[in-house]
Structure formats: C-alpha cells, structure tokens
Amino acid sequence: MRLSRSFIPTLRETPAEAQIASHRLMLRAGLIRQTASGIYAWLPAGLRVLRRISQIVREEQDAIGAQEVLMPTLQPAELWKRSGRYDAYGPEMLRITDRHDRDLLYGPTNEEMITDLFAGGVKSYRELPQVLYHIQWKFRDEVRPRFGVMRGREFLMKDAYSFDIDTQSAIASYRRMMLSYLRAFQRIGVKAIPMRADTGPIGGDLSHEFIILAPTGESSVFYDGRFEQQDWRAEAVELADPESLQRFFMRMTSLYAATEDKHDEAAWHDVEPALRREGRGIEVGHIFYFGTKYTQSMGVAVSGPDGAMVHPEMGSYGIGISRLAGAIIEASHDEAGIIWPMPVAPFRAGILNLKPGDAACDSVADALYEAAPDDMLLDDRADRAGVKFADADLIGHPVQLVVGPRGAASGTIEVKWRASGERTEMPLDAAVALIASLR
C-alpha cells in the first residue's frame, strides 16, 4: 500500500477522551475511529490487524478439528427463554422488537443458538464429538464503556462450543482447546497465562481466563516464571489421546501456577520462591466447561450407545479478537508509538522514501515495495523526513527500510528494527531478501 493513496489518518495530538495507551495509540495511528459511545469503526490498518489475529486463531482452531460456522448477530429471544437466561442476563443485553412484534436480541454470546443448531443436525453419539466455532461481532450494553476497544459495547470475538457424549470426553475437549489457545497466543507474539476463574453468567464448574502480561494491565497476577520459557507450539501432545491430554493439563496447571492472590499457597505449593513472578494482566480469553446446562434446559438429546437418550456435555471457549488488538498494544509500546509483534502487524515493514521525485530514491523504494506489496507500506508522501520517521514509529512497523539520496546512489538501505531500535545498512538485494523472510 502506498501511503499517499491510503486512508490512514494519523493524529499529532492525543484525543482528550483517550485514557489508556492502547486507546491513544489506536486513534493516533489511524486504526480506529469512534462512531458512538463504545462503538468503533475499524479503518484499513486496524482491520488488517483484526484479520491477522483472526487468521492465527482460525488456524489453531482448525488444527484441533474445530469447524468454522457463521452465526447471525441477531438472535430470537425464544432461544434464550428456553434456556432460562433471557430475563436473568440483565441490562447488558440489547433487546429488540421487529415490525412483527417478535422479540430479538443482539447476541452477547451464542450458547443457545449453537445448541439449537446442533440439535437440528446431530442425532446419535456416533456423530460426536463436535466442536463448532465462529468469529463474529457481539454486543453488550456496558453502562460505562471506556478504554477504547478494551471495554467497548460492540466487539469482535471468536467463540467455540464443544459437544461430547460424556464428562471424560468433554474434559478432553476442554484440555485440547486450552492447548490451542496457548499456541495461538504464542504465535501472535504475546505471553498469555491461564488462570482458574469464576464461570459467571455462562455457568459451569470449570473455567480458565487467559491473561496477557502488560505493565498497564487492569489487575495483578502472580505466576510461575517457567511459564515464560515454555514453547507451546512445540508441545508434544497427542490430541486424540485423552491420557496425553490429561498429563499435559496436570503439568500445565501444577507447574505453571497463576493466581490473583499473592498469598495463595495452594497455587504456589510446587513453585520455588525464586521462580515466583508478579505482573499485571489483561483478560483476553475465557474458557468454560458446563456439562449439560444448556442441552438439558433446551431439551436437546442424542441417542447413546445403549439406545437411551443422552444430553450432550458442552464447553464454551472465547477469545476477544478486537480486545486482543488493544491488549497487544498495552503490552508492547513506547512513547513514540506501537511496537507490533511481526505476526499481527498491519504491515510487516514500512518503506520510507525520504526524497520522492528523486530518480534513484524512487527506483530503490519501488524495488523494495514490489518485493512484497501486500505486506509493505510505502511512505511516498511529499513530507519532511521527520514526519515520516514519526509516523513509522507511531504505526509500529516491525521493520523500517529507509531510502535516502546518499544510500540510494550507492545501492544501500538503512534498516531499523522497531522493537530494539537497532539500525544497520545493507545492499538492496539483501534488503529484498529480508523482506521475503518477514513472516
């Protein structure tokens, strides 16, 4: 994308309503704009971030056998009345009546709808397990929406739902999903720690939150330092083997303790004092196992091995995609702007042409751009060099490729790594090879 033709409206000044780093930087970097209280439009660069996060999550969901669907944002109120949650959910639910006086709601979550869809397609235990997920917008009418996309009213979420014939199989699905989450967050480039949690209005008796470590996090978290060194992508777990999953889960939950209570000795009993860490965290995911809460209340059953009807056991698993975009910025920024992890950056690199119109500069900048136009943002504006450097740091390109008249004349590029600030010079062919390696 050429910046001179793009819609990335950066701001020099911080908007008065922005109270936290992610809100300030998302507005200033031209990622989002507020359209109503707690509701945001995602501009081209911000949408690229959402899509990159979504794709990583999607690939990790597919890897455990989950199947993608797409459910509507509006749901019949009747489904929620069947489960008993329509009146219990509270004022956060946006209730709507259409022209035929039918009660609808803008879905805050999808347990009822997915249970109803499942009931229409699965009749026998032989068709289990099933894990279905989608990535869709949700709405919760927060009484005080604030902090930008971190606590907005409309948000993009990945929610998945598992159906199993018995408790043992359902717990295996839960553990499989936990590993999928750990791998997804590691691929995204953030440290996310699972912590036992309350189940809240979703229900059930087994639940974990996933907390991203960030200096500006909303709550304190105490955790085992060994967690930071674990490579979940290389974790050797046979996903189809419940015993392997159980060993993984027990090791993960016992060796990588996390708690909100520094004095919770039950959480720390296997953790040496030297390995105990303290930080601040932001919740970006939540998983639940709640058994037959919805299948039973909604009258959904399948035929079991002995021919008797059985209510399938369920789990629910969410990742806040749009909230995660903000949390990444909270965890990775400086005074100059955003420092994106490479996998989710809107652009892998920014090319800064310091003298557009100069034949040598234009030739070198175009050669770099053509090496990977979908991943590059070419700053070809007729602005001062200082403006270009400031915007590159603000938007947060992991790599900046600086093309100036002296370097262009000699065929060299200055390369700056955003996270470390390291700078080096390299010939054009090496810079093109570097671009090809940015993934």
State both tokens at 125.
């235990």
Can you give the pTM of this predicted structure? 0.94
**What are 37-72's pLDDT values in tens digits?**
999 999 999 999 999 999 999 999 999 999 999 999
Say which range, 10-14, 191-195, 305-309, 352-356, has the weakest mean pLDDT: 191-195
- Identify whether 207 is part of a domain: yes
Question: Nearest to residue 150, comparing CAs of 54, 217, 58, 51?
Answer: 217
The Cα 319–Cα 135 span in angstroms is 9
Same domain? For 326 and 402 the reply is no
Considering 317, 337, 357, which residue would you say is the last residue of a domain? 337
Question: Quick check: is 342 in a domain?
Answer: no
Parallel, antiparallel, or unpaired: how do β-strands 258-259 and 276-291 relate?
A: unpaired
Q: Which residue has the tokens 């959402």?
A: 50
Give me the number of domains the chain comprises: 2
Question: 260, 314 in Cβ contact below 8 A?
Answer: no
Give the span between the Cα atoms of 2 and 281, in whole angstroms.
36
Find the mean pLDDT for residues 5-33.
Answer: 94
Domain range for 9 is 3-337
Domain shared by 256 and 381, yes or no: no
Residue with tokens 């791998």: 183
Instruction: Answer whether residue 35 is part of any domain.
Output: yes
Instruction: Count the Cβ atoms, other than its own, within 10 Å of residue 240.
Output: 11
pLDDT tens for residues 260-286?
Answer: 877 777 777 777 888 888 889 999 999
In a domain? residue 140: yes
Return mean pLDDT, the chain: 92
Q: Tell me whether strands 130-139 and 94-97 are parallel, antiparallel or unpaired.
A: unpaired
Domain boundary among 337, 367, 394: 337
